[in-house]
Chains A and B, each alone.
Chain A
Amino acid sequence: MADFGSNPILTLLEVRADGQLAKSAAGMLGAAAQIGSPVALLVSDAEGVAEQAASLGAQQVLVAEPGAELTVPVVDALAAAFELVQPDAVLVSNSVDGRDVGGRFSARAGLPIAVDAVGLSRDEEGVVVHHSVFGGAFNVDSAATFGPLVVTLREGAVDARAEAAPAQSQQLTVTPSGARAATIESFEAEVAASSRPELRGAAKVVSGGRGLGSAEKFELVEQLADVLGAAVGASRAAVDAGYVPHSYQVGQTGVSVSPQLYVALGISGAIQHKAGMQTAKTIVAINKDADAPIFEIADFGVVGDLFTVVPQLIAALEARKA
């Protein structure tokens, strides 16, 4: 019988269709390691996933067979793992799937659930969950009144990483609950992502707004991002106008980012957008409208035509690199 340590933190890692661990895995294990011993659960039959998890810091790895249906098989596996590990906390990603699993499991097990955590720590009473709410305007700490809790972790929020561990994995036996579940009819994988950093958790982000004017002209945002080694984001207006897909959207109803540098091009800075990026360390804005609200929070604002300023900026940066 494996030893799960004195403070096991059961961490559900997501596995992509291509057999690789999701980008969120490193941060999840890093967060778990801050409050205990990460025990990873992988519901996958892909090869080598246990080893990947161990290399990212999982002290122990449990592997369960995937089920055909949506969510319930993972919840069943999580329930079995919980039973076995008896952790202080159960960590899932705040991804679309993670929330479903975390939600169903917490309801099934009668455990409290804390959502969209940006950090974890311990005090003398137990695990403390850190939240950043209302677009970063308020910081909140939460905890369970007693016993273990379920936490969904905001992707890209935790920078800490766990030390690699020797791969120790075991197969988990899961008894299906038989709960009614939805069916996955089909799945279309997204065409291979570029080498550009992912938006969530990126250190630098360059975002474009309505001011870009078209999907073609949005390329300017990407050019600047590449020069800076940044991820690409967009305002809701740009997404609604069809310049870029929804996954680029930064804001109240999109991705929340807290990078070192956030460059806003042609973005007015409506409250809903600010809610997704105003905790960035440094904010730069370029907009031809002097009264755009984005200038109220920009550390360096340029009132001007982005189609003149950005190419000049790119040229100046490239000149310095050379």
Chain B
Amino acid sequence: MKIVVLVKEVPDTYGDRRLDLETGIVDRAASDAVLDEIGERSLEVALSYADGHPDTEIVLLSMGPESAQASIRRGLAMGASSAVQVVDEALLGADLGLTSEVLAAALQHTGFDLVIAGNESTDGSGGVIPAMLAERLGVPQLTALASVEITDASVSGRRVLDDGVATVSASLPAVISITESLPDARMANIKGIMAAKKKPYEVLSLADLGVVAEREDAPRSIMIAVSERPPRGAGVKIVDEGDAGEQLAEFLVQNRLA
């Protein structure tokens, strides 16, 4: 079984995340970059399956700047078999259409039985890449799974929707995305870190994949304006000395909020 796990380096949500006000692109200098946590959970799903099926191959796939290597290597240290990273200057600011095209091409390059992705990233919050990939690759997708069962021919799980919970399944090959209900990733240990150094790490360019970024005939989504909201400051802060509840009621009523 070959499982490809999509991972992405994103600005640390614990840090100061900023967009460059000129280009609208993520300001990578503003905060530390980490592997998006949901990607780690995706990897953990694959690793848990591999625990019981030792001949499972787990490939980490990522598209991003070269500097993301260190983060991706951690995935190797956690137990993935190899990594593929698509790096190309032409991908800076790529929209979802181009991103999905590139990832789909990379998936055709690596081959797969199952693709596991996070349901949405913490920087884009789009949540559409898994479905786009499924369409391009001609396979079924199961997104937003809160639980996953993988067999050698199928994948199933529970999807939590606004009005209920659905149990869904698909035969492989398929694309799935998982939610943060899935367990935290295991920590990398020393043996994993040392073993990771010997694992294959392939870097591909767009040329390697046969994808052209700048195309006159393909419409793209572009950013046309970016602005920063002024940060919030604090207002009144009181310590309860027996009547805070009443003071708060007064505040709400005065501001026509109650």
Determine direct contact between A and B, CB below 8 Å: yes
Which residue from chain B places its CB closest to the CB of A95 in the assembled complex?
B162
Also in contact, A147 and B239, with CB within 8 A (given A140-B19, A247-B162): no
Interface of A is mostly: mixed
**Please, how many residues of chain A have a CB less than 8 angstroms from a CB on the other chain?**
99
Give A258 to B226 CA distance when docked, in angstroms.
19
Question: Which residues of A, 270-322, contact B by the 8 Å Cβ criterion?
Answer: 271-272, 275, 278-279, 282-284, 286, 290, 295-305, 308-317, 320
Also in contact, A96 and B238, with CB within 8 A (given A146-B219, A185-B156, A284-B252): no
Q: Is the CB of A96 within 8 A of B144?
A: yes
Q: Is the CB of A141 within 8 A of B224?
A: yes
Contacts of B255 in A (CB 8 A): 282
Partner of B237 from the list A139, A247, A298 (CB cut-off 8 Å) is A298
Partner of B221 from the list A114, A304, A308, A310 (CB cut-off 8 Å) is A114
Contacts of A290 in B (CB 8 A): 239
Which residue from chain A places its CB closest to the CB of B250 in the assembled complex?
A316
Q: Is the CB of A182 within 8 A of B162?
A: no
Question: Which residues of B, 5-29, contact A by the 8 Å Cβ criterion?
Answer: 13-14, 17-19, 24
Q: Is the CB of B159 within 8 A of A96?
A: yes
Partner of A301 from the list B144, B237, B246 (CB cut-off 8 Å) is B237
Contacts of A22 in B (CB 8 A): 162-163
**Please, how many residues of chain B have a CB less than 8 angstroms from a CB on the other chain?**
90
0/1 interface trace, chain B 207-225, chain A, CB 8 Å (1 if under): 0000000000011111111
Asked whether any CB of chain B lies closer than 8 Å to the CB of A175, the reply is no
Contacts of B190 in A (CB 8 A): none
Q: Is the CB of B13 within 8 A of A252?
A: yes
Q: Is the CB of A271 within 8 A of B14?
A: yes
Contacts of B166 in A (CB 8 A): 184-188
Asked whether any CB of chain A lies closer than 8 Å to the CB of B85, the reply is no
Q: Is the CB of B223 within 8 A of A103?
A: no
Of the stretches B47-55, B61-69, B95-103, the one at the interface is: B95-103
Of the stretches A80-88, A130-138, A207-215, the one at the interface is: A130-138
Asked whether any CB of chain A lies closer than 8 Å to the CB of B76, the reply is no
Also in contact, A133 and B19, with CB within 8 A (given A103-B135, A139-B229, A181-B140): yes
Q: Is the CB of B246 within 8 A of A312?
A: yes
Partner of A183 from the list B170, B235, B236, B247 (CB cut-off 8 Å) is B170
Q: Is the CB of A183 within 8 A of B169?
A: yes
Q: Is the CB of B164 within 8 A of A189?
A: yes
Nearest chain A CB to B155's CB is how many angstroms away? 9
Give A141 to B246 CA distance when docked, in angstroms.
43
Contacts of B135 in A (CB 8 A): 75, 103-105, 107-108, 179
Q: Is the CB of A182 within 8 A of B141?
A: yes
Nearest chain B CB to A134's CB is how many angstroms away? 5
Asked whether any CB of chain A lies closer than 8 Å to the CB of B181, the reply is yes
Asked whether any CB of chain B lies closer than 8 Å to the CB of A102, the reply is yes
Q: Is the CB of A113 within 8 A of B97?
A: yes
Q: Is the CB of B126 within 8 A of A138?
A: no
Nearest chain A CB to B138's CB is how many angstroms away? 6
Give A117 to B235 CA distance when docked, in angstroms.
30
Give A314 to B159 CA distance when docked, in angstroms.
37
Asked whether any CB of chain A lies closer than 8 Å to the CB of B43, the reply is no
Q: Is the CB of A300 within 8 A of B235?
A: yes
Q: Is the CB of A110 within 8 A of B218?
A: yes
Q: Is the CB of B141 within 8 A of A152?
A: no
Partner of A311 from the list B124, B238, B239, B245 (CB cut-off 8 Å) is B245
0/1 interface trace, chain B 227-255, chain A, CB 8 Å (1 if under): 11101111111111001111111111101
Give A75 to B145 CA distance when docked, in angstroms.
20
Give A149 to B257 CA distance when docked, in angstroms.
39
Nearest chain A CB to B233's CB is how many angstroms away? 8
Question: What are 5 pairs between A and B in contact, CB < 8 Å?
Answer: A95-B162, A115-B128, A182-B141, A312-B246, A316-B250
Chain B residues proximal to chain A, CB less than 8 Å = 13-14, 17-19, 24, 38, 95-97, 100, 119-120, 122-136, 138-144, 146, 156, 159-171, 174, 179-181, 218-229, 231-240, 243-253, 255, 257-258
| Seed contacts A204-B257, A271-B13; 5 additional CB < 8 Å A-B pairs | A96-B119, A228-B257, A253-B120, A282-B257, A316-B246
Per CB-CB distance, the 5 closest pairs between chain A and chain B, nearest first, are A312-B245, A304-B240, A103-B131, A316-B249, A103-B128
